[in-house]
Structure 1
């Protein structure tokens, strides 16, 4: 397959590297080469099986609009743009494009999401979340932490779930979910040793979405199909 990676940051560069390791052709555009999605034209996307976006929230929305309007496929690992999600879904369906998005493409984190849903079913517990990332991560709380909170509150709508965010050095990503009662404390923890898990999941997501028809999916819905 041929993938176009948007973003030459740490994760985007690793996505390109892993895609090549898995035998795919890869093109990469940094944000300076693609201001306001100006490079995402019909000729540029000709032959591209899927676009993979790891830029920032504003750029991601512009990139999605351009890619989906041309009926192409895009995987978005960028977070912080979900206020535009309904519009992007509508555009994908209307123009025959495909959108696969997620707050975290690590398979381990996907398991954390499911375990958190189980934990939230406990009666008599209060819940909290703590996350730690590198100092260059702009959004806080992280998209993953917000997803964990959403999962808990979908099961316990009245729960007041606190989220603490820390930005430390080059931390790859740590999330801890705590359930506390008068009797005991339970913790679920995912600590990323490298960014490779996120990047590999994004490449596998691109392999999946390249084979789909028009639509929009959360990675949480399809990761067990990979």
Structure 2
């Protein structure tokens, strides 16, 4: 498989390494080479089976427009752009393209989301108050993290409560920690996911690209990860 990786940050570099380890041909574009999606011309994009984006909330929207307009396949690990999701869905449908997006490509986080849903379901009528705390590296651009927002949405759906407060921290080179707390007057239950390495994100993104390479349509990693 021919893979184009957009973004040469820490996760983007690791995605390229993992893709190469899995036997794929890899080309990487950094922000300077692809300002305003200028490098993503139809002939250039046509040279790849899947495009993987780990850039920034500002860059990813233009990148998606350019890539999906050609009918190509794209995996997006960048977060902070979901207010444009409906526009992306419509473009995918019009162009018969493929888009797989996710707030977190770690399998452990996907399991955490399932457990969070179960926590909310079982505790919703027991007087518990839910809160989320997340910690990431200082260069992470979106705050709170997309994963924290996903956790919040899962808990809100399963409990019916209106809001789940999120506290965000940016510290050093932290790969990422998410803590969901359910607290009552008598006790508390804590669910934690701590990343030691970005490799789990990179491996998940490459597996997602392999899965998407034979499909069209728009997919949330949370809904399809078990198929990989």
Bin the TM-score by the shorter chain.
Answer: over 0.9
Give 1:157 shift: 2.7
Give 1:158 shift: 2.4
- After superposing on structure 2, the runs of 4+ consecutive aligned residues of structure 1 that deviate more than 4 Å are none
Alignment partner, residue 191 of structure 1? 194
1:160 to 154, 163, 179: 163
Residues 126, 159 of structure 1: 8 Å contact kept? no
2:175 to 172, 176, 192: 172
Alignment partner, residue 62 of structure 2? 62
Residues 1:99 and 2:102 aligned together: no
Alignment partner, residue 110 of structure 1? 110
2:221 to 197, 219, 222: 219
Give 1:211 shift: 1.0
Secondary structure of 1:120's counterpart equals: helix
Alignment partner, residue 13 of structure 2? 13
Alignment partner, residue 88 of structure 1? 88
Alignment partner, residue 26 of structure 2? 26
Give 1:181 shift: 1.1
In 2, Cα distance between the equivalents of 1:160 and 1:8? 35
In 2, Cα distance between the equivalents of 1:35 and 1:157? 43
1:209 to 201, 207, 212: 212
| Deviates most, 36-45 or 55-64 | 36-45
2:135 to 132, 135, 141: 132
Residues 19, 203 of structure 1: 8 Å contact kept? yes
Return 5+ residue gaps in structure 1 as ranges.
Answer: none
Secondary structure of 1:40's counterpart equals: coil
Tell me the TM-score normalized by structure 1. 0.97
Give 1:125 shift: 0.9
Residues 46, 72 of structure 2: 8 Å contact kept? no
Considering only aligned residues, what root-mean-square deviation do their CA atoms show, in Å?
0.9
Aligned length: 225
